[in-house]
Amino acid sequence: MADSSRQRRAAVPAPPPERQAWLTDVATAAARDAGGVPVRLLGDYLPMLADAAVSGRRPRRAELDAVGQLGRQAAEQGISAGRVVQLYLSAARRLWQDLPVVVRSADSEVVRAAAAAVLQVIDEAVATLAEGYAVARRDLVRREEALRRELIDDLLRGDSDLGSVVERAEPFGLDLARVHQVALAAPSRRLPETDTAISALEAVVFDRLGDRDVLVATKEGLLVVLAPAEAVEAGRTGPGAGQDSDLGWLVHGELNRLRHGRPWRVAVGRPHPGLYGIARSYEEAREALTMAGRLNADKSVITAHDLLIYRVLLRDQPAIVDLVSAVLSPLLQARGGAGALLDTLDAYFTTGGVATESARRLHVSVRTVTYRLARIRTLTGYDAADPAHRFTLQAAVLGAKVLNWPAEAPPSTA
């Protein structure tokens, strides 16, 4: 290792003191031109240029490798590629302007040969610098993506060490003391270009809500958006009437611009404060997405708030199973089964008890609707038009939808 180091040092002879001072002045001025980029990122680039102008020497592989390493260092330090390239080009320009051999020569061939040699060094050095920078940026992006995925998993799980999560969330601009909410987006089919969807979603979410306290990632085939609730409140965008749906409509509108994966369904959890509030909002959004599929909901954006009644029903599953069985099981005696009668009750309650609107939704005649309602009354003893019976019937219908009855047998209440 020591021998290799000595060989590399020997490859670039130390310039005499007066030339060293000149090169130092050139490097300092170039760093100033590039907005204060550290002079050390030039390495031995200026001696290479000076040697090329005087002797025509091309850069050695070890010298170019050192330039590539400097490009990686610039990327790791967060310096933009444009400023690093500007540093190298400005250094070359200033060195050429002040190069004594060129300035004092009256021989055009000498000037031409020196220029060609210098341009060759610039070409190879800048290309190697940019390649090293790009490699480092790709590595940084991969590491950041891995850290972001790990952070998202811990945030959504909600059982991680609070101090560790707070420390890891800080570089991503997350203030876990704020109120956040989570939106989940599910495509109608497998998304072929997840990165495209994430990039598009990040761009619009950051534009509307700012880049702090916002994370966009994937989890279990879903797109996950974590956003501060108050930012959504300040920038309402959707046709809904609630804070929860605003984030949903924002996400849904942008995703529907993508060519692949449409139509999308978006579920949004309610806003909750703190680390554990994020996990709670995520669970609500996931439950809403599952429930929307089970209910065959035709809405593109579902909120946890919309489905609170179903959560209430499911909390006492034995009671809802008993209600469905006691009230609706007689419908199984109907010719063709209970399906058409349940659909009629659902449409009737959804339209506020208007038979004509129910018929339009069901694509049947009003007479068919009234016949079915009469048949339900005969079989169950409950009249959908009677306020005293309406609540029991509607709760039973909601329970049947949650349980996917009668397509699935109700779970045992033992």
Asked if 29 and 42 touch (Cβ cutoff 8 Å), the reply is no
What is the CATH classification number for the domain harbouring 254?
3.30.70.2730
pLDDT at 154 over 80: yes
Residue type, 304: A
Its domain, for residue 299, covers 165-304
Q: Does 309 fall in a domain?
A: no
Q: Does 31 fall in a domain?
A: yes
| Whether residue 299 is found in the same domain as residue 184 | yes
Which of 50-59, 129-138, 205-214 comes out lowest in average pLDDT? 205-214
Task: Give pLDDT, residue 115.
Answer: 86
Q: Does 158 fall in a domain?
A: no
Which of 33-37, 59-63, 190-194, 307-311 comes out lowest in average pLDDT? 190-194
Question: What mean pLDDT is reported for the chain?
Answer: 82
If you average pLDDT over residues 37-48, what whole number do you get? 92
Task: Give pLDDT, residue 261.
Answer: 57
| Whether residue 276 is found in the same domain as residue 174 | yes
| Whether residue 118 is found in the same domain as residue 242 | no
Q: Does 160 fall in a domain?
A: no
Task: Give pLDDT, residue 106.
Answer: 64
pLDDT at 8 over 80: no
Q: What is the pLDDT of residues 342-376, one digit of tens each?
A: 999 989 998 888 999 999 999 999 999 999 999 99
pLDDT at 9 over 50: no
Dihedral sign from CA coordinates of 194, 200, 201, 203? positive
Q: Which of 304, 333, 353 is the last residue of a domain?
A: 304
Asked if 83 and 35 touch (Cβ cutoff 8 Å), the reply is yes
If you average pLDDT over residues 283-309, what whole number do you get? 83
Q: Does 95 fall in a domain?
A: yes
Q: Which of 104, 139, 174 is the last residue of a domain?
A: 139
pLDDT at 414 over 60: no
| Whether residue 172 is found in the same domain as residue 297 | yes
3-state helix/strand/coil string of 274-334 = HHHHHHHHHHHHHHHHHHHHHCCCCCCEEEHHHHHHHHHHHHCHHHHHHHHHHHHHHHHHC
Q: Which of 250, 281, 304 is the last residue of a domain?
A: 304
Per-residue b or e along 249-268, where b marks 16 or more CB atoms closer than 10 Å to that residue's CB: bbbbbbbeebeebeebbbbb
Task: Give pLDDT, residue 377.
Answer: 93
Q: Does 145 fall in a domain?
A: no
At 257, the pLDDT band (50, 70, 90 cuts) reads confident
| Whether residue 298 is found in the same domain as residue 247 | yes
| Whether residue 288 is found in the same domain as residue 333 | no
The residue among 350 and 262 whose pLDDT is bigger is: 350
pLDDT at 120 over 80: yes
CA distances from 1 to 73, 83, 122 (A): 22, 33, 29
Quick one: which of 11, 97, 3 has its CA closest to 47? 11
Q: What is the pLDDT of residues 105-118, one digit of tens each?
A: 667 787 888 888 89
Q: Which residues pair with 186 in a beta bridge?
A: 265
Which of 103-117, 182-196, 236-250 comes out lowest in average pLDDT? 236-250
pLDDT at 141 over 70: yes
Which of 129-138, 194-203, 270-279 comes out lowest in average pLDDT? 194-203
| Whether residue 236 is found in the same domain as residue 359 | no
At 1, the pLDDT band (50, 70, 90 cuts) reads very low
The domain tally of the chain equals 3
| Share of the chain residues as helix, strand and coil, in percent rounded to the nearest 5 | 65, 5, 25
| Whether residue 110 is found in the same domain as residue 6 | yes
Instruction: Collapse the DSSP code of 34 into the 3-class scheme (helix H, G, I; strand E, B; otherwise coil) and give the result.
Output: coil
pLDDT at 82 over 50: yes
